[in-house]
A and B are shown apart, each in its own frame.
Chain A
């Protein structure tokens, strides 16, 4: 069946360092892969997405990498800041008309 899962439940990173959050997926039919950030008491907030025909996409301080061969997705956050502390979810979308399927979150702690 479909599943999107994360390798690690928590990640602690020193402020200013880069962080990498990983995710594995199993549904080869997915066309979009998405990263969401969820701060305490708030709803998921879109960070960046990548289409299945790409292997890398960059945003502001964030980069998403997609490796279709091993069905792996990662989110790189450069120069982490205290405001990056949150739970990060990877998600998949078979196509834009379809529901978004969330994986388990990774809690990112930024250490001072």
Chain B
């Protein structure tokens, strides 16, 4: 069964450092998302991406965040200068809107900022 793949599974970084979280969406999907989940809390929307541009972003997605689809398969989330409060699970999801299907989520990257 096709799945969304995220790497790394766990990333530890120093406060102020840049991190790039990587996602490989399901191959025929066109709509991509990043979500985050602080430990024990609900899943929060960060950004959606379609047709090589951001469709929508939340208040959390400030100037420190950016997304990119550098090639035909990867979808990345960059945090420019990490803060302690960026520590969370980050989930990538993709959806095939032409088939009107639900969004599929990856297993997540646990980001720990120290």
Residues of A in contact with B (beta carbons under 8 Å apart): 34, 36, 38, 41-46, 49, 89, 96-105
Contact = CB atoms under 8 A, between A and B. Distances in A.
Contacts of A36: 105
A86 to B, nearest CB: 13
Contact of A44 (B43, B55, B56): B43
Contacts of B42: 89, 102-105
16 contacts: A42-B107, A43-B106, A44-B43, A45-B105, A46-B102, A46-B103, A96-B97, A97-B97, A99-B33, A99-B45, A99-B56, A100-B33, A101-B45, A102-B43, A102-B45, A105-B42
A99 B17 CA distance: 29
B102 A49 contact: yes
Interface of B (DSSP majority class): strand
A34 B103 CA distance: 10
A44 B105 contact: yes
B91 A43 contact: yes
Nearest to B58: A99
A44 B31 CA distance: 17
Contact of B105 (A43, A49, A105): A43
Nearest to A6: B42
A44 B102 contact: no
A13 to B, nearest CB: 21
Given A44-B43, A97-B31, 13 more contacts: A38-B43, A41-B107, A43-B91, A43-B105, A43-B106, A43-B107, A44-B91, A45-B105, A96-B95, A97-B97, A99-B33, A99-B45, A100-B33
